[in-house]
């Protein structure tokens, strides 16, 4: 996984998001930048590592500490991105905020497999029965109060003191520090230095492969041609792509498909853009895939058993060697 050190976070994440987020980009990314600016000004080191996720419909950003605390916004959000919306393309990063210089927010970006991270969170997240309320900006050493989580949930949001933010506190703070330290060591050990241009260029190429594979999976679910004349396979193009890609991008997506005569079309009586592929091309591709697929484990065992049986029959029918012949 790539890492990009000491980078202008606004510039880097803007370029990454423009590759993948087609709706609510400017509003959502602005909110995430506000969170990073706040983190840069805090003394609490557990607030300086953030989980940032770009998906086609928007951007989410959570402190890493809250992802490991059950029932928090970050914990629920990571579950959502990791398990509930797996069909969307996700670009996720751990963001280490380090400083603000000349109005720019600097830090380190670590590419993150959000599905693997969500599984780690599910296995290790800590229970919480306490909520901390910040009644003024914590950067100003404002007043803080704590209350039981059940009471907070019952009174939120109307019957509470005016607050600027809140967070769930784990019942075992030492365990949280251990989880954050483990996450830090893991990303340090499993990342490769890269630069912003190289990284975003790879992402740009990969998005065509992602949506091409998504289209092929949809076609693969069709047992037979689904057009009235049974001559073509037709599937709905990802709606984010249909609404956001221009002619040049759509042409590149067609080039990423293994079909020579695939085309986009809006069929009569329908609003969705569809990918239409001639029947013969789909069948030819399926035949080619089948030829390259390895047999299943059961198939391999059956083949090995068959080969062994054939070997035994061959031994029975083979003539005896001269030195073994009866006298």
Question: Which pLDDT value is given to residue 272?
Answer: 86
Residue bearing the bigger pLDDT, 197 or 298: 197
Instruction: Answer yes or no: do 181 and 54 share one domain.
Output: yes
Q: Which two tokens stand for residue 30?
A: 């602005």
In this prediction, residues 113-142 reach a mean pLDDT of 87
pLDDT value of position 13: 97
Residue 121's closest CA among 66, 84, 194? 66
CB of 203 closer than 8 Å to CB of 16: yes
DSSP string, 170-190: PS-HHHHHHHHHHHHHHHHHT
Residues 34 and 75 in one domain: yes
Those residues whose C-beta lies under 8 Å from the C-beta of residue 235, and which sit 6 or more positions away, are 215, 218, 219, 222, 274, 275
Q: Clarify whether residues 100 and 185 are in a common domain.
A: yes
Residue 126 is classified by DSSP as B
Residue 318 lies in a domain: no
**Residue 120's pLDDT band (cuts 50, 70, 90):** very high
Residue 152 lies in a domain: yes
The gap from C-alpha 202 to its chain's centroid, in whole angstroms, comes to 15
Asked whether residue 313 carries a pLDDT value surpassing 70, the answer given is: no
- Most trustworthy range by pLDDT among 133-142, 217-226, 301-310: 217-226
Q: Considering the chain, what is the average pLDDT of its residues?
A: 88
> SS3 for 107?
strand
Is residue 236 within 8 A of residue 273, CB to CB? The reply is: yes
At 315 the pLDDT is 55
Assess whether 114 and 182 both reside in one domain.
yes
**Dihedral in degrees, nearest 10, Cα atoms 247, 252, 255, 256:** -130
Same-domain check for residues 33 and 45: yes
Q: Are residues 180 and 77 in the same domain?
A: yes
List residues bridging with 192 in a β-sheet: 2
Two tokens at 276? Answer: 């239409």
Same domain, residue pair 51 and 187:
yes
Poorest-confidence range of 45-49, 137-141, 314-318?
A: 314-318
Are residues 180 and 107 part of one domain? yes
In total, how many domains does the chain have?
A: 3
Q: Are the C-beta atoms of 92 and 60 separated by less than 8 Å?
A: no
Residues 236 and 124: their CA atoms lie apart, in Å, by 39
Across the range 166-173, mean pLDDT stands at: 94
- Above 60 in pLDDT, residue 299? no
Query: With bands split at pLDDT 50, 70 and 90, how would you rate the model's confidence at 266?
Result: confident
Question: Considering only 84-88, 144-148, 195-199, 201-205, which range has the smallest mean pLDDT?
Answer: 84-88
* pLDDT above 70: residue 56: yes
Q: Give the Cβ contact number of residue 124 at 10 Å.
A: 15
The reported pLDDT for the residue numbered 327 is 24
pLDDT, residue 321, reads: 40
Residue 80 has pLDDT above 80, yes or no: yes
Average pLDDT over residues 141-146: 79
pTM across the whole model: 0.83
Per the document, the length of the chain is 327
Mean pLDDT of 30-50: 94
What mean pLDDT is predicted for residues 60-68?
97
Question: Do 116 and 228 fall within a single domain?
Answer: no
Residue 19 has pLDDT above 70, yes or no: yes
Residue 146 lies in a domain: yes
Tokens of 60: 């989410």
Q: Tell the residue number behind the tokens 């990454």, with chain if given.
A: 16
pLDDT number for residue 292: 75
- Of 98-112, 212-226, 244-258, 264-278, the range with the lowest mean pLDDT is 264-278
Strand intervals (E) in the chain: 2-8, 49-55, 58-63, 91-101, 104-112, 130-134, 144-148, 165-169, 192-193, 232-236, 263-265, 274-278
Residue at 242 is within a domain = yes
User: Rg (Cα) of the chain, in Å, rounded?
Assistant: 28
**Cβ atoms < 10 Å from Cβ of 32:** 22
| Same domain assignment for residues 90 and 139 | no
Is residue 75 predicted with pLDDT exceeding 60?
yes
32-36, 122-126, 284-288: which has the minimum mean pLDDT?
284-288
Residue 300: other Cβ atoms inside 10 A: 11
| Domain, as residue range, for 77 | 2-126+173-194
Give yes or no: residues 106 and 74 share one domain: yes
Grade residue 326 by pLDDT with cuts at 50, 70 and 90: very low
Q: Is the pLDDT of residue 288 over 90?
A: no
Q: Are 272 and 239 in contact, with CB atoms under 8 Å apart?
A: yes
């Amino acid at each position: 996984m790539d890492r990009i050190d000491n980078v202008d976070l606004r510039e880097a994440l803007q370029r990454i998001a423009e590759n993948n987020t087609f709706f609510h980009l400017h509003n959502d990314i602005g909110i995430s930048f506000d969170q990073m600016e706040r983190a840069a000004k805090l003394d609490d080191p557990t607030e300086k590592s953030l989980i940032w996720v770009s998906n086609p419909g928007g951007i989410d950003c959570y402190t890493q500490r809250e992802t490991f605390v059950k029932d928090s916004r970050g914990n629920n959000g990571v579950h959502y991105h990791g398990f509930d919306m797996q069909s969307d393309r996700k670009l996720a990063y751990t963001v280490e905020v380090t400083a603000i210089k000349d109005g720019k927010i600097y830090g380190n970006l670590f590419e993150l497999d959000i599905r693997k991270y969500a599984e780690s969170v599910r296995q290790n997240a800590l229970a919480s029965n306490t909520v901390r309320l910040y009644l003024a900006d914590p950067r100003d050493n404002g007043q803080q109060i704590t209350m039981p989580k059940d009471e907070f949930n019952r009174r939120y949001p109307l019957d509470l003191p005016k607050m600027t933010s809140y967070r769930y506190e784990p019942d075992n703070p030492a365990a949280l520090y251990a989880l954050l330290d483990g996450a830090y060591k893991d990303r340090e050990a499993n990342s490769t230095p890269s630069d912003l241009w190289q990284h975003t260029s790879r992402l740009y190429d990969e998005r065509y492969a992602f949506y091409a594979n998504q289209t092929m999976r949809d076609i693969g679910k069709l047992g037979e041609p689904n057009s009235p004349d049974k001559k073509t396979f037709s599937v709905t193009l990802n709606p984010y792509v249909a609404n956001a890609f221009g002619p040049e991008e759509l042409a590149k997506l067609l080039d990423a498909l293994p079909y020579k005569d695939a085309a986009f079309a809006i069929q009569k009586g329908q609003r969705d853009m569809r990918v239409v592929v001639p029947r013969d091309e789909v069948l030819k591709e399926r035949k080619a895939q089948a030829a390259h697929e390895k047999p299943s484990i059961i198939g391999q065992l059956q083949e090995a058993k068959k080969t062994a049986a054939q070997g035994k029959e061959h031994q029975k029918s083979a003539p005896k060697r001269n030195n073994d012949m009866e006298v």
